[in-house]
Amino acid sequence: MAQNPRTSETDTSPTTGRNSGLSRRNYVRSLAAVATAATSLGAAGTVAAADDYEVIEAQNQTITVESGETWENKLIDMTTGQDVVVTAHGSDWTIRNVGFEGENTSGAGSATFGISDAGGSSTVENVYLGDGSDSRNGSSSGHGQTAFWVDPDHAGHVDFRNVNVQGFADNAIYASAPGNAGGGTIHVDRCFAANCYVSHFRLATEGSKVTNSCVYVDEDDYDGRGIWAWAPGTVEVENCQLEMNGRNVAIDAGANGQATTVVVRDTDYDDAAGIGEHDGSSVQLEDDVGTDPEAYVPSGVPTSAEEAAAGSDT
């Protein structure tokens, strides 16, 4: 099966691994439900449509989204125990209304989504990956499962809106690779990420930002960084809630001996987790930055696979 290559930076942040017991993502899903009332496929893997969406069984296939294409209203059944990879590497594509039902237990060590835009503007919106992945790893690079991997050649722009990623073993949105290559930008807006390892939102390029989004980490799952900024920056953070419960760095700047800058506004971060500045990096705290975060699922973010696949009127 096609894999999405990722660099093998050593992660030096502390971890306690993954604990058993009540999962935070199930709790958040229940809480939010009360508060917010043409693909290329292998021969196997497609099932009859259900309601307003198509059900696709994970059978180690790769789905390719082409330039200008909209891939939408899909429910991916992960209970098969196998993997699925969705790739989009052209320009001006859209991935919308997609839900993954069940934990990824394939052990493939791949990225569920491998994406980039060659020079236009593409969109990922209303996607649910809240059932996470286990810690098994079938790749030689030593990685667990990643939710979104942005290719180094990314040279355009990608908007992430209303995305829910929880419990992934290797990064929720891993979008730092274009920093020293394609230079494309990323905007994470109205997204929720929780209990992922290594990091939740990982950006690098000038013009990239995280806005109106939340990160939550507790003792029940993986405990990666909240936001990790790589060179060259500047990365912007605005109107976010980063509730880390002291389990990792809320905002971490710099890596691999290279400095970056993060500008933070209208955001609360966990002071027990704090801020990291490495290799000459700077985290600039501007207006209305506090240390009393209360993470929540932003309005319009899907809280189940079915909700995502059916689409949202929010």
Q: pLDDT tens-digit profile of 123-141? A: 999 999 999 999 876 554 5
Contact 232, 257 (CB under 8 A): no
Contact 272, 248 (CB under 8 A): no
Q: Would you state the pLDDT for residue 43?
A: 32
294 closest CA partner among 251, 250, 241: 241
Q: How far apart are CA 281 and CA 27, in angstroms?
A: 36
Q: Would you state the pLDDT for residue 16?
A: 35
Q: Which tens digit of pLDDT belongs to each residue from 148-188?
A: 999 999 999 999 999 999 999 999 999 999 999 999 999 99
- Using CA atoms of 74, 134, 130, 177 in order, give the dihedral in degrees to the nearest 10: -80
Position of tokens 């209360």? 294
Give the three-state DSSP class for 233.
strand
Q: Which tens digit of pLDDT belongs to each residue from 221-268?
A: 899 999 999 999 999 999 999 999 999 999 999 999 999 999 999 999
How many degrees, rounded to 5, is the angle at CA 97 between CA 128 and CA 215? 30
Taking phi over 0 as left and psi of -120 to 50 as alpha, with beta for the rest, 28 belongs to alpha
Q: Would you state the pLDDT for residue 51?
A: 61
What predicted TM-score, i.e. pTM, was given to this entire model?
Answer: 0.86
Least confident range of 29-43, 66-80, 160-174, 220-234: 29-43
DSSP class per residue in 133-150: B-S----TT----EEEEE
Give the three-state DSSP class for 251.
strand
pLDDT band at 35 (very low <50, low <70, confident <90, very high): very low
